[in-house]
Amino acid sequence: MKAARWYKAGDIRVEDVPEPQIDDDYDVKVKLHWCGICGSDLHEYLAGPIFIPVDTPHPITGDVAPVILGHEFSGEVVEVGPNVTNVKPGDRVVVEPLDVDDTCPSCQAGRDNLCVNLGFHGLAGKGGGFADYTTFRHKYVHKIPDTLSYDRAALVEPISVGYHSLEAGGFQAGMNAVVAGAGTIGLATIECLKALGANQVIVVQRKSVRQEYAKASGADIVLDPAECDVVAEIKRLTDGYGADIAFECTGAQACFDQLLAGIHAGGTLVVTSIWEKPASVNLNDICIPEKRVVGSIAYCGKDFDNVIELLASGKIPAQGFITKKIALDDIVAEGFETLTGPEKKKQVKILVSNNPDELDA
């Protein structure tokens, strides 16, 4: 079959590889329909390896680069192991792409996303979404309703990242929130905040078409840091007090600093972005006002099921998220190069398929 494999930063190749086969009684084989290019994939393309194992085999998959990329995907079940009961051939599904060991304290506590050996399908090896087929453990395969199209279903994974970040930060309905960045995860966070009852959503985004994307996703106001004092505006918009909670979705030092200053004493800053280099912080800015800075990674528990329901019901519209659809053969030139080039801010989510029927639809 055809697949896109990461060899090193700047080196992704579309090539023929063996079709995966079920090798465990609890495995599910999926024919892939659509897979989105994620910000994590871009980080690996520009500055990897970050999650991808290179010198030492991944402790769960046993693989090293080259690995098949892609973890935001939807597809159809074509085969299941003899002990699989939650899905069957013909079911329409998405996959929660967590590689975990099941045995560490985090896994035992039901916090799979904090597994000490955490990996991601499409980064850690043993398959991925930029291919014709993949196999994965049945417990992470989720059925989707017929009312949710395959292309929109490929948004479940990134929106679940935003959804989980609200949980990580202790968000409650009625809060005033700030989101830095209107890329995919920023937009997902905005839509989740609106769906779950935020009082006000303020977005920090430099002037580009992404400001319009933010407004379309429900932002009440968009602040351009090149045109205003972001911290002063956040406080003005919150009666001089500051926001209750903020979400850093850019990986930029300036945005981190603005959000930390923009939340009130006792407020929470959630870091969802993956950083390519270390950040710096004056810990007194956290300690003295008792602010909380928390990390958020991936998703766990019922996050996927909740997002599937919110998407299918229209409570999370996610209109305009899909800005481009391309063939697998064109993934580098039309995908990665577009998302890292001068026109990158025009894009939100580029979906990839090797299925002619999908591409011609």
Domain match, 33 and 71 both: yes
SS (H, E, C) the chain: CEEEEEEECCEEEEEECCCCCCCCCCEEEEEEEEEECCHHHHHHHHHCCCCCCCCCCCCCCCCCCCEECCCEEEEEEEEECCCCCCCCCCCEEEECCEECCCCCHHHHCCCHHHCCCCEECCCCCCCCCCECEEEEEHHHEEECCCCCCHHHHCCHHHHHHHHHHHHHHCCCCCCEEEEECCCHHHHHHHHHHHHCCCCEEEEECCCCHHHHHHHHCCCCEEECCCCCCHHHHHHHHCCCCCEEEEEECCCCHHHHHHHHHHEEEEEEEEECCCCCCCCCCCCHHHHCCCCEEEECCCCCCCHHHHHHHHHHHCCCCCCCCEEEEEEHHHHHHHHHHHHHCCCHHHCCEEEEECCHHHHHC
Domain with 234 in it: 159-295
pLDDT of res. 26: 79
The answer to whether 322 and 348 have CB atoms below 8 angstroms apart is: yes
Is residue 39 a contact partner of residue 94, using CB atoms and an 8 Å limit? Answer: no
> Same domain, yes or no, for 79 and 97?
yes
Pairing relation of β-strands 243-248 and 176-180?
parallel
The token pair that represents 301 in the structure block: 């528990």
- The CATH number linked to 225 is 3.40.50.720
Q: Tell me which of 252, 279, 295 is where a domain ends.
A: 295
- At 333-347, the pLDDT tens digits run 999 999 999 989 899
For residue 279, what pLDDT is reported?
A: 94
Same domain, 148 and 167: no
pLDDT, average across residues 62-79: 98
Q: What is the pLDDT of residue 361?
A: 64
Does 316 reside within a domain? no
Quickly state the pLDDT bin for 24 (edges 50, 70, 90): confident
CA–CA distances in Å: residue 118 to residues 127, 210, 304, 308: 16, 32, 18, 23
Q: Is the pLDDT of residue 353 over 80?
A: yes
Q: What integer pLDDT is reported at residue 276 of this predicted model?
A: 84
Residues 140 and 87 in one domain: yes
Identify the band that residue 355 occupies on the pLDDT scale cut at 50, 70 and 90: confident
Between CA 271 and CA 341 the distance in angstroms is 25
Whether residue 165 sits in one domain with residue 148 = no
Same domain, 288 and 332: no
Based on the fold, state whether residues 145 and 181 are members of the same structural domain: no
Please state the rounded mean pLDDT for residues 281-293. 98
At residue 213, does pLDDT exceed 70?
Answer: yes
Of 279, 329, 326, nearest to 151 by C-alpha is 326
Closest of 80, 98, 99 to residue 89, by C-alpha = 80
Q: Is residue 311 part of a domain?
A: no
6 plus 47 within the same structural domain: yes
* Residues contacting 173, CB < 8 A, separation 6+: 196, 197, 198
Written as one letter, the residue type at 93 is V
Average pLDDT of 50-74?
97
pLDDT at residue 153, rounded to an integer: 98
Give the span between the Cα atoms of 138 and 28, in whole angstroms.
6
Pair of tokens at residue 147: 């009312």
CATH of the domain at 126: 3.90.180.10
pLDDT of residue 68: 98
pTM: 0.95
Q: What are the tokens at 315? A: 């409570």
The span from the CA of 223 to the CA of 228, in Å, is 7
Whether residue 286 is found in the same domain as residue 207: yes
